A and B are shown apart, each in its own frame.
Chain A
Amino acid sequence: MDALVTLRAVTKTYRQGEVDVPALRGVDLDIAAGEFVCLSGPSGSGKTTLLNLIGGLDTPSGGHIQVAGRDLARLSPGERAELRLRHIGFVFQAYNLIPVLSAQENVELVMELQGVGAAERHARARAILAEVGLAGLEGRRPAALSGGQQQRVAVARAIVSAPDLVLADEPTANLDSENGRRLLEIMRRLNGERGVTFVISTHDPEVMAFARRLIRLHDGRIQADERRDGPP
């Protein structure tokens, strides 16, 4: 199977004052379409950096990254934004949603940028919100939703345009275990039914237990890359 994401000898070094801080120290990685991958590791191991590089939010200090057949190094910032818009969905740990937009409008926002017509946008947003269990809450603003509900809206927004890849950075970190489990089940279902590729960074053992592929990072290097048959 062709890799959806390919990283070769990727390094990333941040400059903090006078000191160079390496975040990634030569990462080689292939992620195939339809995979459900967890990146785990302690804080500072490079999980978020890796996600940001794959998502084109940041540029590597060295090495090459390909996503959906596009070499990110050859793309302008505008082209990288277009790649994210068409092929990649993001879910962050917090501050995910636009506070002045309702759940429905948050989900529609990406589609509006893609030029999807209002009627179709509306229908697809309602359908996906229903799919993540938020039917009836479409008109609520984020402040009127629980943390778990907000994350489900974020997941709905990330997948509503059927992206090739969803990058989720500690999506359950701020959720209680029940809401965390529910979110993971939704992501797994979307992975299974729609074939959406998920790459999730986490500390959470429960999330790791859900993964079919678990990549452990340590000090900016891949320490282990385990494949499993399926979740418990």
Chain B
Amino acid sequence: MSLLARMAWRNLWRNPQRSLLSLAAIAFGVTLLVFSVGLQIGGYEQMIGNTVRLLTGLAQVQRPGYLDAPRLRLDIPAARDLRARLEAGLRELAPGVVVAPRAQSFVLLSSERRSLGALLVGVDPRAEARLSSLPGTVHRGRYLRTGEEVVLGAALARNLGLAPGDEVTVLGSARDGSVVATVLTVVGVFESGARELDRSLAQMPLATFQDLFAMPDRVHALVLGEAPLDALPELVRRTRALLPPDPPLAVLTWEHIEPGVKQAIEMDFASGWLMYLILVLVITFSILNTFLMAVLERRREFGVLLALGFRHGRLLRLVLWEAALLTALGVLLGMALGAALVAYFAVHGITFEGMEVYAEQFNLPPYLTPKLTPFVLFSGPAVVLAVTLLAALYPASRVRAVDPAETTREVG
């Protein structure tokens, strides 16, 4: 180690109390940053996971334009073969991948008491049980098996005055223009926590739906799920490669299907960074004060060094070295502590008061789990390091104002 580096290191410890306080401020700030960003990213993943798990899936294969104008005839033919091809083709990327077929139509549901419009979705109950959290939210009765049965959202069932065991009449239009009129048995009532779904969604077995609506082997969506979130771009790419050229089909990710979730995340992310910026600035000002005092206290010493043949530039580098050492130490310490906190709570989770009730309602785990990623570990600390070093330029630049003659006159 050169003498200058040794000087920089030892200068840090000339006032150990002050240096330790600064070190603690940086370490505390960085710990908070790493943990908060980890919690934020973990929360987003949970939020996305919940959205994806509830109904949307990671991505869906649909006819182009179906999302915006869901017409019955915009369907996917030969759905069974395509589903099998997708499952086989995507299994290498995600061994547990699920391709769930869905067909849907707006219908009129009638009970003895009243009639209400609803979205009736034909689903493969076994695939849904693996892909969607909705079957798990059935709190009265059971989920679908086969045949002429239906599950209703809790508000829908309440408004219709129906309970498991009751019958509901379905009125709608089939794909061929004929009238759909049938009676289904309510086997279960779900409460997903998503108000819109609970008020207007009904599910029935796909095979029965296809018979009723004259859609043999046709569906409106093949929903892809049970693959890692970070594999989504590759999942989409491979899915596209597996699709037949005719009719044209689109692969929509959850971001397309649920833009509101993405926007909410982006807004939260932006407001989070504003808070982090304030935190970084508070750390920076405390460090700035430390460095400024350290420089002002050593004017005489700098005068002597200039008299010995130091140039101002070398003095500036010396002070910047000290700032870099102190900041790097604090940042490393903060990263270690932050990573340890994130790792601990990633396993044990964080529970807030009242969260259990909320989580149960939404079929979610009753805790938040932060996540440790390279972004979580390095983004905040990198900003602290960069901003602190930039800030250190100001006190360091004060050495340029040191006049050796003046300081040595003070000495002599």
Contacts and interface: CB of A to CB of B under 8 A. Distances in A.
Contacts of B401: none
Nearest to B311: A81
B405 A58 contact: yes
Nearest to A114: B309
B306 A81 contact: yes
Interface string A51-70: 01001011000000000000
Contacts of A95: 300-301, 304, 411
A76 to B, nearest CB: 10
A112 interface: yes
Contacts of A170: 412
B409 interface: yes
Contact of B304 (A77, A96, A105, A108): A96
Given A101-B3, A110-B308, A94 B411 contact: yes
B408 A98 contact: no
A84 B14 contact: no
A44 to B, nearest CB: 11
A100 B11 contact: yes
Q: Identify which of B300, B314, B412 gathers the most chain A CB atoms within 10 Å of its CB.
A: B412
Contacts, number: 84
A122 to B, nearest CB: 11
A81 B309 CA distance: 5
Interface string A134-168: 00000000000000000000000100000000000
B409 to A, nearest CB: 6
A104 B304 CA distance: 17
B411 to A, nearest CB: 5
Interface stretch (A85-93, A179-187, A209-217, A218-226): A85-93
B307 A90 contact: yes
Contacts of B307: 55, 57, 84, 90, 92
Nearest to A105: B3
B114 interface: no
A77 B312 contact: yes
Given A93-B412, A105-B3, A100 B309 contact: no
Contacts of A113: 308-310, 314
Interface string B382-412: 0000000000000000000001110011011
Interface in B304-344: 304-312, 314
Contacts of B6: 100-101, 105
Interface residues of B, number: 27
Given A92-B412, A169-B408, A112 B304 contact: no
B201 to A, nearest CB: 72
Contacts of B14: 99-100
B321 to A, nearest CB: 13
A32 interface: no
A114 B311 CA distance: 12
Contact of A109 (B3, B300, B403, B412): B3
B177 to A, nearest CB: 91
B412 A85 contact: no
A99 B300 CA distance: 12
A78 B310 CA distance: 9
B27 to A, nearest CB: 23
A87 to B, nearest CB: 9
Q: Identify which of B4, B14, B308, B404 gathers the most chain A CB atoms within 10 Å of its CB.
A: B308
B308 A57 contact: no
Contacts of A94: 411
**A-B pairs with lowest CB-CB distance, top 4:** A85-B309, A58-B405, A100-B10, A57-B405
19 contacts: A52-B405, A52-B408, A57-B405, A58-B404, A58-B405, A77-B312, A78-B311, A82-B309, A90-B307, A90-B308, A92-B411, A92-B412, A98-B7, A98-B305, A100-B7, A101-B3, A109-B308, A110-B309, A112-B2
Interface of B: 2-4, 6-7, 10-11, 14, 300-301, 304-312, 314, 403-405, 408-409, 411-412
Given A52-B408, A58-B404, A92-B307, 6 more contacts: A77-B311, A81-B306, A95-B301, A98-B7, A99-B301, A109-B3
